[in-house]
Amino acid sequence: MSTPLVAPAGALPADLLVRQARVLDPRAGRDGEADVLVQGGEIAEIGASGALSPSPGTELIEGEGRTLLPAFFDCHVHLRTPGQEHKEDLDTGTRAAAAGGFCGVVAMPNTAPPVDSPELLRSLRETAAAQARVPVGFLAAITRELAGQELTDMAELSDLGALGFTDDGLPVVSAGVLRRAMQYQRLAGGVLALHEEDPALSAGGALHEGPVSALLGVRGVPSLAESTMVARDAALAAYEGARVHIQHVSCAQSLDAVAAAKADGGALTAEVTPHHLLLCEEDVRDLDPRVKTNPPLRGAEDRRALVEALRDGTLDCIATDHAPHAREDKEVPFEQAAMGTTGLETAFAALHTELVLGGALELGTLVERLTAGAAVMGLAMPRLAPGEPANLTLVDLEAEWQVGEEGYESRSENCCFAGRRVTGRVLLTVAGGAVAYRQRQFALSAA
Amino acid sequence: MSMRHLLSIEDLDREQIERILARAASFAEVSGRPIKKVPTLRGRLVVNLFYEASTRTRSSFELAAKRLSADVLNFASSGSAVEKGESLKDTVTTLSSYRPDALVVRAPFAGAAALVAGWTPAAVVNAGDGKHEHPTQALLDVYTLTRRLGTLEGRSVWIVGDVLHSRVARSGVLALRRMGAEVTVCGPPTLIPRGIEALGCAVRHDLSDLGEAHVVYALRMQNERMSESFVPSLREYVAHYQINARRLSPRQLLMHPGPVNRGVELSSDVTDSPQALISEQVEAGVVVRMAVLFELLSGAAPEPSGAAAQARPATEPQLA
């Protein structure tokens, strides 16, 4: 059995002392000024503020006025490797993750070719060890070539380190095939992560079916293209006792299906993206291809329902669905444009600005939901406690910046928040015990 | 307020529409002369960039530009670099190197003209973007109607047929509403988009109250809609929605954007009747497009930098 997360080979274990920062870890019930000492890549000690001093060889980081958080974990990103390295690769994608405060990401298998064979997964993990900046996990395909017909070698893929399975980008249309995958999951283990979309209802659609699609004359994707599939698959999962995770929930009707499944005691989790939490169909009115996503941005009332469901825990975690695209895939009319937005570098700042400063969500809840993707994938959650591996991010909650003003770490620039003023900046990320990111001005001022 | 582009009816207020209609009326006089040309836009370049087959829209833009003495370049996607895989943006950049004053764009995608406007210094006219808008069609329809009826205030217009796939309907509803008309869209439930009421129109699915309409505007019914199961059969569509002498009363006016499918959305008897304004619509197409080009190219001085800077300032149309 392989360890599911691939750690960057040759990363140096960090030795550093963050002094006098506000240390916030909602799971540990911790929120107050403290000193945090990291030695050999592990949290060695958390002491009273100003009580610890650095030993020789330990870097001192002044945390006063800043906030130290457990680093975030994203269970849904597209790193485009193999085959579409012109959009992103394991280096640029994980640089973006580190810059966004993430200590781990899970890459989707809808690459070219898709990750549907043990050989491909093995070589991809080797590439990740050589190139990645933060630990990376992989989901393998549920079906060969993502064609929705034959199951992949799920058990062997799992032995090689696949965290689970998904045909993300596409639904498993056949209930019969998905049911077999659920049965086989008892042998293979791992989570089944599901992109929920009934193509009979969504075909040809480019945005949410509603007043805006009627006005623009663009074919819409109704909410029930998603919610009917969520309900179907929750019923299948309950019957087979399967462990399923619903990806990028976008509408209120799907939330009803998720809440009902959870109320029945189902082992079901669900994620939501920053763009579905912050944008809605009105933001698509001028047909900027950067806001074309799948599932589409829904109505304003759906957006409010998602925020509430994130707050009350119906939605377990935030996942960015980071989907880099080349300029030529987005500089075309909306209906022709590729679907998806980048998200790793902006998730925390955008959500902090709109939801926390906007009063809809506590900072602690936001941090909890940004880290909970690890548990969804069956991994230990990042925690700020002595003896834990150092997975932490230092943020300035008051720093204002404009998305895109300094470019992106990602190879692609298709960010739906481009041009927005946001508040909250990641200064430092330690991932898997090694320093993975330092914000440039912060690094200069600290030097 | 002078206009930089004409991208949608949604962008226009009533005053702007009325100004274009008044200008069109003044150009109508030119069209009646033996020599149908004024030197207003002499030396200006109008490029027609058409990504969809079009006869009347493209030719009426060409005629409108020529009657204003502008030069015209027609660029169709078939047989061009587009077929060799050139992107819309690269094509627009290439054509912009010819320093056109106006780009008339038709493309099968919503928002295409607005995108083009961001890529060229030329004034952009939307000649149809996907199923979104076709603003010059709506302007010529309103022009045709106001010539016949005077004001449209309180008049009832029924738009009948495939509203879902119709940019003519969307622009039409918006323009007619701006001018004070009451608009009802009517068609099979499969061909009326959910939420269309947001445009300010009523929705009906049968013609039982068609008698309340002052104007009946029939839309083109395309054959491929049958194969996509939007309607079970042509026969069923005709039975429920065809405008014919049985359904149209002699005091009602009939319009259609063309080309007509005789025997489908319209019967021949009403198509050829004096109630039908179809030929007047075609005629209006030229003068309204003259007015639009005039509005965009002669109003404000061209931008100091870029392509339009060298062009001659335009003069008022010389009607005397």
In a domain, B52, yes or no: yes
CA–CA separation, A83 vs A90, rounded Å?
12
Which among A209, A286, A333 has CB closest to B109?
A333
Same domain, B290 and B275: no
A443 vs B: CB within 8 A: no
SS (H, E, C) A230-244: HHHHHHHHHHHCCCE
* Domain count across chain B: 2
Residue type, B188: P
Contact status, residue A257 vs residue A270, Cβ threshold 8 Å:
no
Which among B109, B167, B170 has CB closest to A335?
B109
In a domain, B84, yes or no: yes
Contact status, residue B222 vs residue B162, Cβ threshold 8 Å:
yes
Say if residue B307's pLDDT is above 60: no
Q: Which two tokens stand for residue B81?
A: 């670099």
Stretch A73-99: mean pLDDT: 98
User: How many Å separate Cα A165 from the centre of its chain?
Assistant: 16
Pick the catalytic residue: A153, A321, A329, A396? A321
In a domain, A7, yes or no: no
Contact status, residue A142 vs residue A167, Cβ threshold 8 Å:
yes
Q: Supply the CATH number for residue A155's domain.
A: 3.20.20.140
DSSP string, B98-141: T--SEEEEEESSTTHHHHHHTT-SSEEEEEEETTTB-HHHHHHH
Give A247-299 pLDDT, tens digit per residue.
999 999 999 999 999 999 988 999 999 999 999 999 999 999 999 999 999 99
Say if residue B36's pLDDT is above 70: yes
Q: Which residue of A has its CA nearest to B169?
A: A217
Q: Where a domain ends, among A336, A356, A376?
A: A376
Yes or no, beta carbons of A333 and B198 under 8 Å apart: no
Same domain, A82 and A175: yes
Q: Give pLDDT, residue B299.
A: 59
In a domain, B269, yes or no: yes
Same domain, A405 and A312: no
Distance from CA of B128 to the nearest CA of A (A): 11
Yes or no, beta carbons of A333 and B112 under 8 Å apart: yes
Mean pLDDT of chain A: 96
In a domain, B3, yes or no: no
The 10 Å Cβ neighbour count of residue B312 is: 10
In a domain, B320, yes or no: no
Yes or no, beta carbons of A218 and B130 under 8 Å apart: yes
In a domain, A296, yes or no: yes
Q: How far is CA A59 from CA A12, A16, A38, A205, A447, in A?
A: 13, 4, 9, 53, 10
Contact status, residue A138 vs residue A17, Cβ threshold 8 Å:
no
Stretch B231-253: mean pLDDT: 95
In a domain, A295, yes or no: yes
Give A305-332 pLDDT, tens digit per residue.
999 999 999 999 999 999 999 999 999 9
Burial of B53 from C-beta contacts in 10 A (0-12 / 13-18 / 19+): exposed
Same domain, B34 and B121: yes
CA–CA separation, A227 vs A259, rounded Å?
12
Same domain, B291 and B252: no
* Domain count across chain A: 2
Give B73-116 pLDDT, tens digit per residue.
998 877 666 667 889 999 999 999 999 999 999 999 999 999 99
Tell me the residues of B at the A interface, defined by beta carbons under 8 Å apart. 10, 87-89, 107, 109-112, 114-115, 129-133, 165-167, 170, 193-196, 198-199
CA–CA separation, A295 vs B214, rounded Å?
43
3-state secondary structure of B147: helix
Give A216-232 pLDDT, tens digit per residue.
999 999 999 999 999 99
In this prediction, what percent of chain B has a pLDDT beyond 70? 91
- The whole domain housing B163 covers 135-280
Give A398-425 pLDDT, tens digit per residue.
999 999 999 999 999 999 999 999 999 9
Yes or no, beta carbons of A216 and B111 under 8 Å apart: yes
Q: Supply the CATH number for residue A391's domain.
A: 2.30.40.10
- The whole domain housing A297 covers 70-376
CA–CA separation, B240 vs B217, rounded Å?
15
Same domain, B87 and B147: no
Same domain, B287 and B190: no
Contact status, residue B243 vs residue B265, Cβ threshold 8 Å:
yes
In a domain, B162, yes or no: yes
Give B159-180 pLDDT, tens digit per residue.
999 999 999 999 999 999 999 9
Yes or no, beta carbons of A287 and B110 under 8 Å apart: yes
Same domain, A204 and A304: yes
Same domain, A256 and A296: yes
Yes or no, beta carbons of A331 and B170 under 8 Å apart: no
DSSP string, A132-187: -SS-EEEEEPSBGGG-SSSB--HHHHHHTT--EEE-TTS----HHHHHHHHHHHHH
CA–CA separation, B48 vs B59, rounded Å?
9
Say if residue A87's pLDDT is above 80: yes
A203 vs B: CB within 8 A: no
Q: Where a domain ends, among A348, A376, A404?
A: A376
Q: Where a domain ends, among A353, A376, A399?
A: A376
Which neighbouring-strand residues pair with A16? Answer: A38, A59
Same domain, B23 and B156: no
Q: Give pLDDT, residue B79.
A: 61
Contacts of A218 in chain B (CB under 8 A): 110, 130-132
Yes or no, beta carbons of B194 and A220 under 8 Å apart: yes
Same domain, B274 and B298: no
Same domain, A204 and A223: yes
Q: Chain A 206-235, CB below 8 Å of chain B: which residues?
A: 209-218, 220
Say if residue A155's pLDDT is above 90: yes
Say if strands B202-204 and B182-186 run parallel, antiparallel, or are unpaired: parallel
Q: Give pLDDT, residue B83.
A: 66
Same domain, A161 and A30: no
Say if residue A445's pLDDT is above 90: no
Whether A321 is catalytic is yes
Same domain, A77 and A55: no
Q: Which residue of B has its CA nearest to A222?
A: B194
Query: ipTM of this model?
Result: 0.88
Say if residue B317's pLDDT is above 60: no
In a domain, A235, yes or no: yes
Same domain, A41 and A117: no
Give A104-153 pLDDT, tens digit per residue.
999 999 999 999 999 999 999 999 999 999 999 999 999 999 999 999 99
In a domain, A382, yes or no: no
In a domain, B319, yes or no: no
Say if residue B315's pLDDT is above 50: no
Yes or no, beta carbons of A217 and B109 under 8 Å apart: no
Same domain, A194 and A221: yes
User: How many Å separate Cα A154 from the centre of its chain?
Assistant: 23
Same domain, A125 and A232: yes
Same domain, B13 and B83: yes
pTM: 0.93
Yes or no, beta carbons of B133 and A217 under 8 Å apart: yes
Distance from CA of B42 to the nearest CA of A (A): 33
Contacts of B165 in chain A (CB under 8 A): 217
**Nearest one of B110, B121, B215, B120 to B165, comparing CA atoms:** B110
Same domain, A40 and A55: yes
Same domain, B274 and B291: no
In a domain, A155, yes or no: yes
Contact status, residue A160 vs residue A154, Cβ threshold 8 Å:
no
In a domain, A8, yes or no: no
Contacts of A334 in chain B (CB under 8 A): 109-111
Burial of B121 from C-beta contacts in 10 A (0-12 / 13-18 / 19+): middle
In a domain, A2, yes or no: no
Same domain, A56 and A105: no
Yes or no, beta carbons of B107 and A214 under 8 Å apart: no
Q: Chain A 237-296, CB below 8 Å of chain B: which residues?
A: 286-287
Give A98-110 pLDDT, tens digit per residue.
999 999 999 999 9
Which among A209, A217, A331 has CB closest to B110?
A217
Q: Supply the CATH number for residue B227's domain.
A: 3.40.50.1370
Distance from CA of A210 to the nearest CA of B (A): 6
Same domain, B222 and B290: no
